[in-house]
Every structure is written in structure tokens, then in C-alpha cells.
Chains A and B, each alone.
Chain A
Amino acid sequence: MDLLAALETFAEQCNQNQRLRQMNRDWNRLVELWATDTDQRYWLKSEAGWITAGPGDAVDAELKISARNDVLHDIFSGIITPTEPYNAGDLLVKGRQDDMMRLDIITLLIWGE
């Protein structure tokens, strides 16, 4: 599964989870993802509780995440938690800490501890 497919599956899992939709109903954010080794960019959008994903640049993103392609893939497939590469310096983020925490919590609610 490539990164785009992983992101689309992630978005689908979020949308199928009623608790997550409820939690994110006021969390409207645009997230840019940059795979540093392949120089590919993707975006995730949260709007009124629904998540969508796609390839390409994100204009005026609130949160920017960069890491190697395999790291991003593993995070959005639930193989690793975002915290692991983040605490190792392999995942860099630009944005509000509350938004980063929210993204981590979303992965926690989908894949558990």
C-alpha cells in the first residue's frame, strides 16, 4: 500500500468512527504532509467531523508534517504511533501543539494504545 492509499484508508477509518466524527466536529484544519525522501506532498482535511485526503500542495495549511515516506506510511497505517518517530527526531511538525495532540489522539482512538 502506498502513502496516498494509506491516507485514504486512514480518512475512511476516521469517518466510520462516530466518536471521532463527534470529537472533530469543531476541528476544521488543513494538514500538509511532506515525504522528504520522495519530495511528494499530500494533504489531509478535517471539516465538520469529516476527514478527506489527497495528493498535492496544501495552501495555508495549519499543520505541516514532514518525514520519510516509510515513516509517514507506518504512522497512517497504525503500525507505529506518531510519538515514536517524533521523539526520535524522524518526524518534524510545524503548527499548534493542540493540533498535533489532536492528530495523535485520532490515531490512538483508531488503533488503541
Chain B
Amino acid sequence: MDNNKMVVSSSPHIRSIESVQSVMTDVLIALFPAALMAVLLFGYQALITMVISVATAMLAEALWLRKRDIYSDGSAAVTGLLFAMVLPPSPPWWLVVVGAASAIIIGKQVFGGIGYNIFNPALVGRAVVVMSWGGHLVGRVWSQPQPFAFTADISAVTTATPLSGQEEALAVSLTNLFIGSAPGCLGETSALALLLGAAWLFYKGHIDLRIPGGFIGVVFVMGAVFGGGFYGGALTTGLFHVLAGGVMLGALFMATDMVTTPVTTKGKLIFGIGCGIITMMIRLWGTSPEGVTYAILLMNAVTPIIDNFTVPQQFGGVKKSA
């Protein structure tokens, strides 16, 4: 036996086959239904938006890290796709490029790259473009979905989102909101597609239901209690707030971003509930119709504090009386 070839290392000697790349690839798979739905609803322009965004994000990361492996751990592609999903279906191409590059560079790489960023990169990208070119993302700029019309120019007919006012809200049924046939961001409109994807992530053990559960639960309750019942009653108004706008996308895919959310189980629930409360405070009592982006970014900021205060009781441990 050649003794020199033996590997000596600390236990355990076996590892699961899961890697950062496989996790990120699972997230991409989970986003596929929503991406497909975007193309079905908004046609080729949505596809182009997603392709530009993903390509820019991957390229920006590869250039920053001077790496040839453009897919690498897959996290840049995830950020790129998520960023596209929080844009209108057919924004100007340069806006997509600037936003996706900002997401990667300002949102992630300046903090030290994957694992070290404090804020959700895709939402940082969105915050950058909303603040810089708000005219493209605020107001009556939202394309009416045109199902199964791949080549249609969707930018021709624009409207406001259901969240902009009671009149716009009442124009859309809950069923349409669930399936996704309502104006809104490219990837946020179809709760159905998002739930399908999230089910995959849950099945693979990548998300903890406490975050989306807390988030969606609070949005529903606050929508029902404080929403004024304009949408046919308290409960339907609660449901409306869950299904309209970015709550489903935010709760299932943004607030569950591993890097920027708590690691403790209790912390996850607090994070989800916090996102829900801030979202609804902005929607109900703020000046902006939608608050998911800032709700998640704000909760991202307090994630380290949440983790610090929610260290679990260890096995057989007793609570220290203060």
C-alpha cells in the first residue's frame, strides 16, 4: 500500500451532493413557471427583458471577478432573473442593463460577493432604477397582458396596476390575479406560477415556510382588517392584497433569499411578519401604492440583529433567568 496517497482530513468523511450551484440551479428551475407565464402573458418583450437581465448579471459578475466561468455558482443568473421579474414587461433595454449590473455590483460584489451582501441584490437593482428613472416604473406605464400573443407589442396599451386605486383594483377579478392576467411586473402577476415554483423549493428543502407564511399571513390579516373591505368584503380585500402586486413574488422568492435573511427558525418567522407589516403600512398609509421592495430591504438591514436575538435554546439547555 502506498501510504502517501491517503487523504487525512477531519470528519465527517462523506458530504451531501448538494452544492451552491445545485441550490441556485434549483432556484432557477423554481422560477421557470413564472418566467414561462411572463412570456405567455406579455410575449416576446418579456423574454427579451429576462434575457438581457440574466446576461448582464452573469457578465457583470464574471467581469468583476475576472472569471471565465460565466454561470459559475449560478447566483448571478438567479439575481438577473429575479431582477427582470420586478421590472415592467418591456422597459428600455438600457434600464435593464444598468439595473442588472447595479444589482450585481452595488447589491452584491462591493460587499464581498456571494454570502456577504446585506441586501437582496435584485431589489437593490430595482431600488436603483426606481430612484433614477421612476417614470418608467411608476404610474400608468404598465402593459395590459395579452395572453398567447407572443409577437404582440404590449407596450402599446398601458394602464395602472390594480394597486394604484380602488377603480383599478375592482377592474380585476381574484381569479385573474391568481392566474396572473393582470397588469404588473413581469414575474409577479401569476400567483399560481410562483406557488408552483415555491413548492419545488420547499420540496428540495431550500426554503422555510415561516418566511412566506409570516409575510403572506400578515398581509392577508392586515388587508382584511385595515383594507376597508372595498374589494367585496374584508376577507376578499385581504386576499386581494395577497394576490395583487409583488407580495407573492416577494414572499416566496425575495424574502426567502438565503443570504439576506435570518438563519434561526424564530428569526425567519419574525422576518416574514416584519416584511408583511411594512408592506401593508406602505400600501395602506404610505404614498406609494406598493411596498414589498422596501419592506424586504428594510428587513434585510435588521437581519443580523434578528439573528442575534433569536439564538435557539440548545438541546437540554435551560433558559437563563435575566
Instruction: Say whether A associates with B.
Output: no
Interface set of A (CB-CB < 8 Å, partner B):
none
